[in-house]
Amino acid sequence: MTYNHASYISDALNGFSIQRTSFPVVYVIVDDASTDGTTSVIRAYLNEYFDLQDTAIAYETDTDYAHIIHARHKENTNCFFTVLFLKENHYSQKKKKDPYLRKWKENAKYLAFCEGDDYWTAPDKLQKQVDLLETNPEFSMCYATCRYYHQDTLKFDKSPWGGRATSLDALLKGNTVPTLTVVERMSVHEKYRLFKDNESAAKGWLMGDYPQWLFCATEGEIVFMDYEVGVYRVLRDSASHSATMKRKLDFSMNMVDIMEYFDDSFAGGKGKRYYEKLRGVLRLRTYAIYGCLGKYVKEWGRMVSRDKSFLFEKNAYKYLAFFISPRLGSLRK
């Protein structure tokens, strides 16, 4: 999925094209009516690296919702691109894109993920992960590590991120799964899609990936592969790295709502006290990042009045440093 990623989309397309597999892979790229030239970048990439003249495979068609191009890579013959240039922005209208993808999901056994501003760096990523799932039918999904790249500072993190949660209980403590590293069984993904369509609580979830990993943990084993496969690009104003305090708070509180739902529904509802404390810690962190000392003190006082042990919460003291050095807060946005 991509929208206004003209400066980054080539990295994602290269990450797909470098995959060396013993099986064919269709990369479905959905451009959500970008306005910054992303469409032109994708078209230029197709013209340079894909065989658009092979009429036995390649085709171009127009529908009421998108202009679609399908073609095979000129050199990597197991690499196929299907690009959907949507005619109107679906995100702003809260319109689902999944119905457009079902044609390419029907015969697929596995599903991988990568947003248009992220990219894969390991050419054997898909081969290794599919081999693992092929030989272990009890596994519902697998994932690996990635490297954070901060677009505002143009710097990589020193260490990779990801892992090692592999059970529902472990994932309910926090999301350790980088989306761009995942390969999931299509059968499990389809179960999750039906579950989400029929579960009223899911309608308010702001995260598309984390609840999916939690669901996978209820359907089979999750495997962590300790090797680096790609780059996660941190942009200042994205859903999980929002530039506004309200959006960041809403996103964080919604994450805890998701945790509580899966805990109540699949893990016996054992974590209520933990989630109440987590909400308080996340509020403190957000107020510290944005320099809201009054809100910080009020929230800390509220939490202590409800639970005296919160007076000794290490993070509450740690985040106070953000007020002493505003740069610490800005680095964590």
- DSSP secondary-structure letter at 2? B
Q: Which residues contact 67 (CB under 8 A, 6 or more apart)?
A: 60, 61, 84, 85, 87
Backbone torsions φ then ψ of 222, nearest 5 degrees = -105, 135
pLDDT given for residue 148 in this prediction? 97
pLDDT at position 78 is 98
How far is the C-alpha of 68 from the C-alpha of 257, rounded, in Å? 38
Tell me the pLDDT of the chain (333 aa) as tens digits: 999 999 999 999 999 999 999 999 999 999 999 999 999 999 999 999 999 999 999 999 999 999 999 999 999 999 999 999 999 999 999 898 988 998 889 989 999 999 999 999 999 999 999 999 999 999 999 999 999 999 999 999 999 999 999 999 999 999 999 999 999 999 999 999 999 999 999 989 999 999 999 999 999 999 999 999 999 999 876 555 556 899 999 999 999 999 999 999 999 999 999 999 999 999 999 999 888 999 999 999 999 999 999 999 999 999 998 887 755 555 444
Give the contacts of 320 (CB within 8 A, at least 6 positions apart).
288, 296
Token output for 173: 């403590």
Rounded CA-CA distance 289/285 in Å is: 6
DSSP, residue by residue, 121-187: --TTHHHHHHHHHHH-TTEEEEEEEEEEEETTTTEE-SS-B-----SHHHHTT-----GGG-EEEHH
Nearest to 4 by CA among 156, 115, 148: 115
Q: Which residues pair with 26 in a beta bridge?
A: 80
Residue 333, pLDDT score: 42
**Peptide bond connecting 164 to the previous residue in cis, omega within 30 degrees of 0:** yes
The strand pair at 183-185 and 110-112 is best described as antiparallel
Distance, CA of 219 to chain centre: 20
Name the residue ranges covered by the structural domains of the chain.
1-108, 109-236, 245-331
CATH superfamily of 109-236: Spore Coat Polysaccharide Biosynthesis Protein SpsA; Chain A (3.90.550.10)
Task: Tell me how far apart the alpha carbons of residues 84 and 62 are, in angstroms, rounded to a whole number.
Answer: 10
Q: Which residues contact 194 (CB under 8 A, 6 or more apart)?
A: none
